[in-house]
A and B are shown apart, each in its own frame.
Chain A
Amino acid sequence: MRTLIIAEHDGQHLNEQVARAITAAQQWQQPVDVLIAAAHTDALAAQAAALQGVSSVLVATDASLQHATAEHLADLVMTVAANYRVILAAHSAFSKNVLPRVAALLDVNMLSDVLEIVNQNTYVRGIYAGNVLATVQSADATQVLTVRGSKFAAAANGNAAGTQTVSVPAAAEGSRWVSEAFNKSERPPLAAAKVVVSGGRALGSADAFAEVLAPLADKLHAAIGASRAAVDAGYAPNDLQVGQTGVVVAPELYIAVGISGAIQHAYGMKDSKVVVAINQDPEAQIFKIADYGLVADLFEAVPQLTAAL
């Protein structure tokens, strides 16, 4: 039997998490195929075929896949699902939308955001905002799961896997893509950045959030993140939210500025290698998970730090 990876992409580039899912997929020691579904697949299929560990690239090309809905993608996956014992993807807004639908159509349960693959049907995943690690075993004939990308190294390039064409079922009726608005940024993507500078409610305004954090992030070539409180207050857009319900990050360096460190936030960043916390409140929870804590007025300390770098 084989393992299938559902590839996330933006129409031109494979998401970098795909290479991490490929590493996770090697655990089953069976051929790993990658499904590319898009309106234009040549470049995407070439990128997938180049990744080591890929056995074959399944290519589904159709204009209707330009902004494919979860309904359409799930129907597409179902046309090939019988060939696979494992169907997986890196955990993201994309896969969270599609894979549960696939699992239900297969009449199997699904494991979300798997941190460790113990064996071919046993996994470790976080529950209660990552405050508890549960080891779970699935008896389902098809294992459907999403994996935490940061827990698996990215597969390297240097392969030349073959491709095969998959026919595309008609798009499901009743659901239509209207538009999308991506926050344009020259910064590295939050989930993949080596350094993340995150701000909390203590920044006080959207202007201060940008004025204080952007120069530091520029110096460190960092992505900018935010606590839920900062996003709810309108200081930062929703896609910057780090935490249980936002993005989970694991950079080399995480700098938490004016963030109290609620358990929901900690969930999203506690796998960071080095954590720095700057907060005026010496009692802030964030200091308990920080390697280096600085009790200071962030409006003084952050510009000082930026200037000294």
Chain B
Amino acid sequence: MKALVAIKRVVDYNIQVRVKADGSDVDIDGVKMGVNPFDENAIEEAIRLKEKGIVTEIVAVTIGSATHQDVLRHALAMGVDRATLVETQDSLAPLAVAKVLKNIVEREQPSLILLGKQAIDDDAGQTGQMLAALLKLPQATFASEITIADQQATVVREVDGGTQTLSVRLPAVITADLRLNDPRYVKLPNLMMARKKPIETIALDSLNLSLTHSVKQLSVAAPPERPAGIMVKDVNELLSKLRTHQGIIA
């Protein structure tokens, strides 16, 4: 079966982004970028399913400018077979991304559609569910375990208070949580070999989708900082400080 993995290029998770002086947006000029961590879990899972003989071909897709090829190269180096870049200079909201991905799913006809559960830049966590809705397909979000047999995926989901297990008929959309797997490191020789793998580029405009930009970012700001705290020398001093706050300890 074919697996499609949708990935997003985001600011590296170790970097604390800054707000531009005019408050119009975050300043990500020259900042290190990479594959959204949850999407890396999605890629890894597809590769493991291929290694188990369940998946036969893996296609990765991302949306963005030509520079976004770097995350596709990373996916190819991990073990993805081929990749598609839907090229646009625009930044798309989750609904628009889901509409683009729907188009790609209809072209590729995968049995399994994998995405990360959220992107660490906008922290929206919507694209997978929206894509499933547009495709009228079952969804299994926040997956920490995926088992595939007889055109069904049994998915353990991380929910508040514990886990839930769902069985979804394929094709289905599954979004990856961090504990689904530990993504493999990409070694230099793999990165070299990945250069030979094909990346198809499709101009977003050529898809003739009607994408609305209904959400506007008016401004951004740094959150108020917590006032500086103090260091206490021992447990007794800590207790006496805590007792100055009414009602938090007996």
A and B: bona fide binding partners: yes
B222 adjacent to A131 (CB under 8 Å): yes
Q: Label chain B's interface by main secondary structure.
A: mixed
Chain B interface residue bracket vs A: 35 or more
Interface residues of A in 289-309 (CB under 8 A from B): 289-296, 301, 304-305, 308-309
Q: Which residue of B lies closest to A105 (CB)?
A: B133
A274 to B231, CA, bound (A): 14
**Contact mask for chain A residues 28-42; partner B; CB cutoff 8 A; 1 contact, 0 none:** 000000000000000
Residue with the highest number of chain B CB atoms closer than 10 Å, among A98, A103, A105, A237 = A103
The answer, yes or no, to whether A63 is at the interface (CB within 8 Å) is no
Q: Which residue of A lies closest to B96 (CB)?
A: A109
A292 adjacent to B133 (CB under 8 Å): no
Choose among B94, B132, B238 the residue that contacts A110 (Cβ–Cβ < 8 A): B94
B165 adjacent to A112 (CB under 8 Å): no
Residue with the highest number of chain B CB atoms closer than 10 Å, among A130, A136, A177 = A136
Inter-chain contacts of A189 with B (CB < 8 A): 161
**Contact mask for chain B residues 70-112; partner A; CB cutoff 8 A; 1 contact, 0 none:** 0000000000000000000000011100100000000000000
A37 to B177, CA, bound (A): 27
A132 adjacent to B221 (CB under 8 Å): yes
The answer, yes or no, to whether A151 is at the interface (CB within 8 Å) is no
A275 adjacent to B226 (CB under 8 Å): yes
Inter-chain contacts of B172 with A (CB < 8 A): 174-175
Choose among A122, A181, A287 the residue that contacts B231 (Cβ–Cβ < 8 A): A287
Choose among B134, B141, B162 the residue that contacts A237 (Cβ–Cβ < 8 A): B162
A109 adjacent to B94 (CB under 8 Å): yes
| Nearest CB on B from A188, distance (A) | 12
Choose among A109, A180, A253 the residue that contacts B163 (Cβ–Cβ < 8 A): A180
A289 to B216, CA, bound (A): 31
Residue with the highest number of chain B CB atoms closer than 10 Å, among A94, A174, A287 = A174
B133 adjacent to A175 (CB under 8 Å): no
| Nearest CB on B from A301, distance (A) | 6
The answer, yes or no, to whether A23 is at the interface (CB within 8 Å) is no
Task: Give me 30 A-to-B residue pairs in the complex whose CB atoms sit less than 8 angstroms apart, sorted by A's number.
Answer: A71-B132, A93-B142, A93-B159, A100-B94, A104-B131, A105-B133, A127-B123, A127-B220, A134-B219, A135-B217, A135-B220, A138-B214, A139-B216, A175-B140, A176-B167, A178-B166, A182-B162, A239-B160, A244-B120, A247-B160, A253-B249, A270-B223, A273-B245, A276-B242, A287-B229, A291-B230, A294-B231, A296-B234, A305-B238, A308-B236
List the 6 closest A-B pairs by CB distance, nearest first.
Answer: A100-B129, A100-B126, A104-B130, A104-B133, A182-B162, A175-B138
